Amino acid sequence: MIVAARRLTKYFQLKGTGIVGGGLSLKAVDDISIDIKEGSIVGVVGESGSGKSTLGRLLMALLQPTSGQVLFDIPDDVLAEYDKYIETNQADKCRKIEEEYSIFRSKGKAMKEMRKQMGMVFQDPYSSLDPRMRVEDIITEPMLATGYLDPEKARKRCLELLDEVGLPRDFAFRYPHELSGGQRQRVALARGISTLPKFLVLDEPTSALDVSVQAQILSLLKKIRSRYNISMLLITHNIAVIAYMADFVNVMYAGKVMESGVKRDVILNPTHPYTIALISAVPGRARMRQRIILQGDPPNLVFPPSGCRFHPRCPVAFELCGWTADEVATDLDYLVQGKYYTTFQGNTQVIPKDALSILIKGTNSIQLSEMIASEREKMRSLMSIANIKDTEEGVLISLSHFVTPKMYNLDNGKKVSCLLYSPEVMATQKGAISGN
């Protein structure tokens, strides 16, 4: 593996003034493991704010993770050993391997050596090039900073790199503002590959460019990959780009990987409900698949949903997916005050009691059960209602417990983080259904 991330987590501390907001953190990347094989292009797709770019920066060691490790250029057998140690919680043995391969342990000279092996191309070529440096200085900077070449040779190599990325040599003495967006991105790419890295992170390399220029940059990237066998992590929100470029795909949502696998399997045959919805939203594919429109907004990552992070928007969520009293109470309140107003006459009160129970005042269990029974197919949160009971205070609704999904391996080599594919959960679930 050229890069192997294990249980990578990044929480950004929110700056609070005094009491308010202190100690809160935004969970941008939460417990992500990712493998990047030599010479492969691994795509990361996801909507804005799903933590794609944070993941890329963690893999480049531009950010320090809250926990987790990124191992660089690690032999497969050592990695297998490492995974075994993690599973069996042998921290001291893990540490020994980390000391050798972790990108976060390196300092000073070792870090420069590491930087030589890694490159990055950023999203916006208008801000990723220093406006006060000439193209030559921009491209030679990584070579000089890491001591890859001496200044004389670096200048020579800069001209070769300009040929490589399809720019005229006299661009070396121009300033970025004299270049167009596509030309700038070529310069950024030349900078990224100047030290012949083994691993290149492409953070939305085409999203700031015109469509015609996007295609040029993508085919240039492919050419470079085939010539130098550079492994790439391609971060993008554009499924078409992934479909064209990547070998493997990771689908991210709210800081978690939802599904990962070989490109064909993920894009043509999505498994996770989120991936299905995401792929169905790609323009032009509507004919082939019914478009699924997700309700609601991406979650607030300061207080992410419990259980599966996708469950509040999931069209097939069921009782174990992570419903909390707050979510169910909001939906119940909406029904009671809205659609069923005539039944309840507006004198009911919905009060979340604790994490898994809700108290409803001013009604009885029969009316409520009826409403819930007729709405639970459409309003998935009502699925989690396990018990409705009349008490002295009012109707007490208790919810079923929930299970947080792990990455489950499927037969075709895909990994999916959805309870529908968890062998244990589904086994008990089937029992429960037949029991009914």
Stretch that binds another protein, among 37-45, 69-77, 168-176, 244-252 (CB under 8 A): 168-176
Stretch that binds another protein, among 25-33, 116-124, 386-394, 417-425 (CB under 8 A): 116-124
Tell which one of 5, 36, 60, 246 touches another protein (CB under 8 A): 60
* Phi, then psi, of 189 in degrees rounded to 5: -70, -40
Nearer CB in complex with another protein: 104/122: 122
Site string for another protein, 18-57 (x = CB under 8 A): ---------------------------------------x
For the stretch 72-80, contacts whose Cβ atoms lie closer than 8 Å and that sit 24 or more positions apart, written own/partner, are 72/2, 72/3, 72/101, 72/102, 72/103, 72/114, 72/117, 72/118, 72/199, 73/1, 73/2, 73/3, 73/101, 73/117, 73/198, 74/1, 74/4, 74/101, 76/1, 79/1, 79/4
Confirm if 29 and 8 have CB atoms less than 8 A apart: yes
Hey, what are 433's tokens?
């259904």
Is residue 130 close enough to count as binding another protein by CB under 8 A? yes
Is residue 142 close enough to count as binding another protein by CB under 8 A? yes
Confirm if 382 and 375 have CB atoms less than 8 A apart: yes
Residues in the chain, overall count: 436
**How many C-beta atoms surround the C-beta of residue 8 within 10 A?**
21
Nearer CB in complex with another protein: 116/309: 116
What's the min distance (Å) between Cβ of 230 and another protein? Answer: 15
Count, residues near another protein per rule CB under 8 A: 35
Is residue 326 close enough to count as binding another protein by CB under 8 A? no
Q: Could you report how far apart the first and last alpha carbons of the chain are, in Å? A: 48
Cα separation, 399 vs 397, in Å, equals 7
Tell which one of 18, 131, 296, 435 touches another protein (CB under 8 A): 131
Nearer CB in complex with another protein: 127/349: 127
Nearer CB in complex with another protein: 132/287: 132
User: Of 189, 210, 184, which is closest to residue 201 (Cα–Cα)?
Assistant: 189
Is residue 186 close enough to count as binding another protein by CB under 8 A? no
Tell which one of 107, 132, 287, 378 touches another protein (CB under 8 A): 132
Tell which one of 6, 10, 116, 198 touches another protein (CB under 8 A): 116
Is residue 177 close enough to count as binding another protein by CB under 8 A? yes
Report the b/e string of 284-310 with b at 16+ CB within 10 A: eeeeeeeeeebeeebbebeebbbbbbb
Is residue 236 close enough to count as binding another protein by CB under 8 A? no
What's the min distance (Å) between Cβ of 137 and another protein? Answer: 9
Nearer CB in complex with another protein: 196/386: 196
Cα separation, 84 vs 106, in Å, equals 24
Cα separation, 94 vs 167, in Å, equals 46
Residue 68 — left, alpha, or beta (φ > 0 → left; ψ -120 to 50 → alpha)?
left
Per CB under 8 A, contacts with another protein among 61-90 are 62
Nearer CB in complex with another protein: 103/258: 103
What's the min distance (Å) between Cβ of 120 and another protein? Answer: 4
SS3 state at 100: helix
Tell which one of 37, 93, 134, 376 touches another protein (CB under 8 A): 134
Confirm if 25 and 202 have CB atoms less than 8 A apart: no
Tell which one of 33, 50, 123, 250 touches another protein (CB under 8 A): 123
Tell which one of 73, 81, 124, 333 touches another protein (CB under 8 A): 124
Token pair 């174990």 is found at 320
User: Of 229, 203, 273, 211, which is closest to residue 43 (Cα–Cα)?
Assistant: 203
- What is the contact surface with another protein in residues (CB under 8 A)? 57, 60, 62, 111-112, 115-116, 118-120, 122-124, 127-134, 141-142, 145-146, 155, 170, 172-177, 188, 191
